[in-house]
Amino acid sequence: MLLKKIKFLEVDPMYRLVLGNYRYDIPANIDQLAQKMGKWFPEDQQAIKETLLEIKQIGNFIFGNSYEKSETISKKVFDIMGMFFAEYLDNRFKHPHASKVLGSLHPYAGVPMNELSALFMMCVITSYQGGAFYPRGG
C-alpha cells in the first residue's frame, strides 16, 4: 500500500504570521490556537474562546463529525451562509491583530477575507484540528 511507504512529518508551528514588529507562531490545533491567542490578546480572551468554539462546532457540523447535531448549530450555519469571513469576524475583537490571525489562512483559498465564504474558512480552520502534516520531501 502506497500510504505505508509515505512518511508524514508534523509541521508545528504550522506557519509564522508577521504583522509589523509582531510575530505569531500559528499552531495547527484549534485549542492550542485559542490558548496562544488568549495570551497574545488578553483583552479578547473570552471573544477568542467563543469564536473558536463556534468555528469548531460549525466546521464539525459541516464535516459530519459533530457530536452535537442540534438545531442551534444548524441555525448558526444558516445565519452565516452567504457571509464573508471578514464580515463574520467584524467587531468581535478589540485588538486588530486577532482577526488577522484567524484569517491568516485565507491565501490558501486564493481570495481576501472580504471575498471568502465564512463557512468555507471555518471548514479550513477546523480541518487542522489534528495537526498539519506534509509528506517527507514534499
**Cell 467584524 sits at which residue?**
90
At residue 57, φ and ψ (nearest 5 deg) are: -65, -45
d(CA 129, CA 33): 10
Query: What confidence score (pLDDT) does residue 27 get?
Result: 92
d(CA 13, CA 132): 9
- Each domain of the chain, given as residue ranges in start order, spans 29-131
* Share above pLDDT 70 across residues of the chain, in percent, rounded to a whole number: 96
d(CA 100, CA 11): 21
pTM beyond 0.95, yes or no: no
Please provide the CATH number assigned to the domain covering 29-131. Answer: 1.10.405
In the structure grid, which three cell numbers stand for residue 109, read together?
Answer: 483559498
d(CA 44, CA 103): 16
Span 95-127, pLDDT tens digits: 999 999 999 988 888 889 999 999 999 998 988
